[in-house]
Structures are given as C-alpha cells and as structure tokens.
C-alpha cells in the first residue's frame, strides 16, 4: 500500500464525491486503506463510500483531517484556500494530486490509458465492461458511473488496469501505460491551454510516456489525431495502430448501421471482416467501441471474443442515458458540453428519434468554455428541432464580464435554430413538458446539474398526459 513518494495507507480526499476522486477512494478502501474525505454535500456516491468503510465529512473544515492521515489527495478543482488543504500544509502532511495517486494504483499492472478531448469515459467504460465480461476482472477508474453510484471504479484480481487519462490539467503526463488510446485532439480547457499547439505538445508528452514496446491506438479520422500520429512517427519502440473510417486506417470501420438505440458495426481487422453490436446509438460511440477493440487486441485479447463482449456494454450514466418515458416522450440525459460532443449526441439522437422531434434543454458549462466556443455550441444546437438554454453552470470558475448564455443563443439563432433562454432553473421542467408531444425525444444536455431536470420533466409529462 505504501508508495515511496505517496503514502496512501490513510489518505484523506478533499472533494471525495467527485467522479475521479471517488473512484480512487473506492479502490484504496477495497485494498485496505483507511480512507477519509470530505465533500460539499451528501450524495449517493458518498453513501456508497461510507458503505466501504470510508469516513466522509460533509463540508470542508480543518478538523476533518483525522489523526494519522498519511496524505491528502486533491484534484485541480480544489482551491488553494481550502481549509483542509491549508491544514495539511500546516501539519506537514504530504499533498498528492489525484493523478499521482492513480499512477501509484496502476503500478505493477498492465496499464491501458484512454485519452482524447472527448469520448474518454465511454471508451474506458466499454473496456471495463467487456474485459470483465471475458472474466479478466480488470481494475478500472472511470470519470462516470456505469450503472450505479460507486460503479466508476473497481479493484480487480486481473493484471489489467484501465484508466481514463485526463488532459485538461496535463495530469495524464503522470502515467506510463502499456497501451494508450487517443480518440481525438482538439482545443478545449481554455484556462490551461492557450493554443492548439500547446494541446499537441501535451498529447505528444503523453504518448512519450507509453512504455517501450507499447502500443498507441489513435484515430485515423480526426485531423488533430493524424497530426499527433505524424509527430510521434519517429519513435522506433512504439507500435501505432490507427482506427477509423479513413481508407488508410489499420483497423478500418467499414459500416455503422443504426438499429434504434443500438448500432451494428463492421470493421476490417487483420485482413478479416468482423461485425458486432454496440448497444448505444450513434456513430461516435461505435467508433469508440472500435478503438476499445483495437486496444484490447494490443493487450492480447482475441478480437472475436472482445467484439462479442463489447455488446454487453449498455451505457454509462449521463452518456445518452434513458431516464424514462411519459406521455409517449422519452427523456434522455447527455453529459455533452463541448460542441463536438453536442453535435455527435444530437446526431445520434436524431437517428433514434425517427419521425419524432428532438427537444433540448442545454446548460453551458464554464464561462471560459462559453467565451471561446459559443459560436460552435450555437451551431450544434441548430441540429435540434427546438432548444432551451439555461444560465452558465460556473463549476470552479468565477464569472467573466460579458460572458452569458446569450452568446450561445445568438449564435444558435444565426444558425437557424429555434432557441429560447430560461433563466429560472426550476421553471425548465414545466417548460419542456409543455413543448413536448408524443413521439418526441427530450435531451437534458450539459456537464452541470441539468441532469437533475430529467425526472422532473418526466413527472410533469405524467401530470399532463391524457387520463393522468
């Protein structure tokens, strides 16, 4: 349990309920560590951690740090003035970044790291589920729950560790994977990267961390990924496998056929055609599955077995997750907050909707992202039949003068969208329920608390249904 640089036998997690932090806390608790932590509020995740023996406080205070704390684990979202962080420094307790803790947990395992501007959580989840289905029992750490609170991580008995590798704060430079996936390379995280060149340099550093003789699985379709492939082409001890629909892809996607809320995928791998089902809709999810397939094969998993097992993946919470149906209207939740993700999810839902309309309630995430990408977000929303845009969810950021949801709304209108503002969060469910009619799909979209609106929209729809 003890690492020379990071003593994790009695770690205290600040913000333990977060997607990335809770997963590490779970694995450490299962491994026998005395885990403690704090979070801003009670949650199902907090309850799941307590059930594993973790001591979790609600609210942040210096006295939350138990006697005997060996290290304090933080993410980049924790502010410097956090009282527990200050107390740790005063007491001389080592402060460990989440990525260093994850790197320590991966030590001694065959690490498979999934990187990219978007698609990481889905692809990591696909690998975790399918490798588990094959009896390989991998350990994994994912940025979202598979099917229940606390299912974002697992301490497995197998020798494989699958992890989501976050580029947002360059923390993925800490890992040394045997196999790495790069799904795409685009400009995002504007608070940490000033240009696409900085993004490329960061991903190049990540690829440089792949162990000698290891494998890079990378998209053949995204120009940013192709540029990265060109940049790392000179490394003799790196196996590179390109995947995608491009004719020069090593693992080529021949077709993706929509089957309602699933897809039938056919690929050309090793000179042979292989078809399998992906139980979530949309071309981009199908391509994520193909990247997962190629990565598993690089680890020595038989392609036909893994392809079949990938069909057992039925989604991750907040990634086009069906929340329910009322009055003939399906309500689906989407974590998409970058324009590329938004467009991909809307394209997938458009196929699934058939003759029905696609209605969106969108909550922009971060002032900096809105400032930089409002035009592209507006273009994406134009793919919906109608949309309602909420105020910006600030997360860790302070407001930026002049940056509001109106920037996105104006851009969407220029793109021909039917879009309106809704400044009262609590009023959104009734508004969406009034807009929807039988056969429509309602999408709650964004990385903030917009996810909470789904059940409320369903309740409103049930109230207004004929005969209800």
121 counts as catalytic: yes
SS3 content of the chain, % helix, strand, coil (to 5): 35, 25, 40
Considering 121, 229, 340, 404, which one is annotated as catalytic? 121
Q: Please give the Cα distance from 37 to 53 (Å, whole number).
A: 11
Cα–Cα nearest to 368, from 343, 342, 403: 403
Dump the DSSP string for 21-68. Answer: HHHHHHHHHHTT---EEEESS--HHHHHHHHTT-EEEES--GGGS-TT
Identify the CA nearest to 280 among candidates 246, 232, 314: 314
Phi, psi for 48 (deg, rounded to 5): -65, -40
CB 146, CB 152: distance < 8 Å? yes
The two tokens of residue 262 are 């699933």
Helix (H, G, I), strand (E, B) or coil at 223: helix
**Which among 26, 120, 174, 323 is annotated as catalytic?**
120
Q: Are 121 and 319 in contact (CB under 8 A)?
A: yes
Give the integer Cα–Cα distance in Å for 306 and 299.
Answer: 11
Is 120 an active-site residue? yes
Residue from 84, 164, 178, 422 carrying the catalytic annotation? 164
> Length of the chain, please?
468
What does the alpha-carbon distance between residue 125 and residue 154 come to, in Å, rounded to a whole number? 11
Q: How far is CA 435 from CA 84, 385, 391, in A?
A: 46, 11, 19
Closest CA to 48 of 22, 20, 24, 69: 22
Active site residue ranges? 120-121, 164
């Amino acid at each position: 349990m003890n690492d020379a640089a990071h003593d994790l036998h009695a770690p205290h997690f600040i913000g333990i309920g977060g997607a990335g932090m809770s997963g590490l806390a779970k694995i450490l608790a299962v491994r026998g560590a005395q885990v403690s932590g704090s979070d801003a509020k009670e949650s199902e995740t907090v309850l799941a951690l307590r059930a594993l023996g973790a001591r979790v406080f609600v609210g942040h205070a210096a006295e939350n740090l138990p006697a005997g704390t060996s290290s304090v684990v933080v993410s980049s979202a924790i502010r410097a003035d956090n009282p527990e962080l200050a107390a740790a420094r005063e007491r001389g307790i080592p402060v460990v970044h989440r990525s260093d803790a994850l790197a320590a947990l991966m030590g001694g395992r065959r690490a498979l790291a999934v990187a990219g501007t978007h698609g990481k959580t889905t692809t990591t989840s696909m690998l975790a589920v399918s490798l588990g289905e094959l009896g390989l029992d991998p350990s994994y750490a994912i940025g979202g729950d598979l099917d229940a609170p606390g299912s974002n991580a697992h301490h497995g008995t197998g020798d494989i560790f699958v992890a989501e590798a976050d580029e947002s704060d360059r923390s993925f430079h800490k890992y040394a994977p045997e196999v790495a996936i790069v799904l795409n390379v685009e400009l995002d995280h504007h608070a940490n990267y000033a240009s696409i060149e900085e993004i490329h340099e960061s991903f190049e550093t990540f690829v440089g961390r792949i162990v000698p003789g290891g494998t890079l699985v990378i998209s053949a379709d995204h120009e940013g990924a192709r540029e990265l492939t060109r940049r790392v082409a000179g490394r003799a001890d790196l196996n590179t496998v390109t995947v995608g629909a491009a004719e020069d892809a090593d693992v080529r996607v021949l077709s993706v056929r929509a089957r309602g809320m699933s897809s039938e995928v056919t690929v050309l791998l090793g000179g042979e055609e292989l078809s399998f089902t992906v139980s979530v809709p949309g071309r981009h999810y199908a391509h994520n599955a193909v990247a997962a397939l190629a990565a598993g094969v690089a680890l020595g998993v038989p392609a036909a077995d893994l392809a079949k097992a990938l069909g057992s993946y039925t989604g991750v919470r907040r990634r086009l997750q069906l929340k329910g149906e009322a009055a003939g209207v399906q309500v689906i939740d989407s974590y998409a907050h970058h324009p590329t993700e938004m467009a991909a999810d809307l394209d997938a839902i458009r196929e699934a909707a058939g003759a029905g309309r696609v209605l969106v309630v969108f909550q922009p995430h971060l002032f900096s992202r809105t400032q930089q990408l409002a035009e592209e977000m507006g273009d994406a929303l134009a793919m919906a039949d109608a949309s309602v845009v909420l105020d910006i969810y600030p997360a860790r950021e302070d407001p930026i003068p002049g940056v509001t949801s109106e920037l996105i709304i104006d851009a969407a209108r220029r793109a021909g969208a039917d879009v309106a503002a809704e400044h009262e969060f609590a009023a959104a469910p009734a508004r969406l329920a009034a807009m929807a009619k039988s056969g429509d799909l309602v999408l709650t979209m964004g990385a903030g608390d917009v996810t909470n609106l789904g059940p409320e929209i369903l309740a409103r729809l049930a109230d207004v249904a004929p005969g209800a």
